[in-house]
Structure 1
């Protein structure tokens, strides 16, 4: 399954967060690095938990809590997550 990551460019790095995995923040010096590390960071974040159902991009953008923090400069990328590869309690 894929989760949507919202990506922002900072002054010295790229930052991403996954609205469907609260608290899951990801950073990278470059956009390429951010995209490479995102699946591992997401898997570590969800380890030991039942993964939440991912929403579509349209559903995420319709979420008022997400929409109020967007300024139009963000990028969006899918982040692959394989629940079979992550241990849950």
Structure 2
């Protein structure tokens, strides 16, 4: 399964979250660290859902970029 992961750069760290998995978040010192941590967090999140007998969510979020002119 592939989930959309949003990575945000803060003043001193990076954060990541998964729109299709509310509460699934990670924080790391670098972009590569936060990507590795969010992958682990997704796996852990899905394992917990499976253990609780909850249905597996289907990824349905997507992203796009738009270009705007700033005067």
TM-score, length basis structure 1: 0.59
Corresponding residue number in structure 1 for 2:57: 52
Q: Structure 2: 5+ residue runs without aligned partners?
A: 50-54, 65-71
TM-score, length basis structure 2: 0.72
RMSD over aligned CA atoms reads 1.6
More relative contact order, 1 or 2 (CA 8 Å, 6+ apart): 1
Name the count of aligned residue pairs: 59
Where do 4+ consecutive residues of structure 1 move more than 3 Å? none
| Structure with more strand by fraction | 1
Larger radius of gyration between Structure 1 and Structure 2? 2
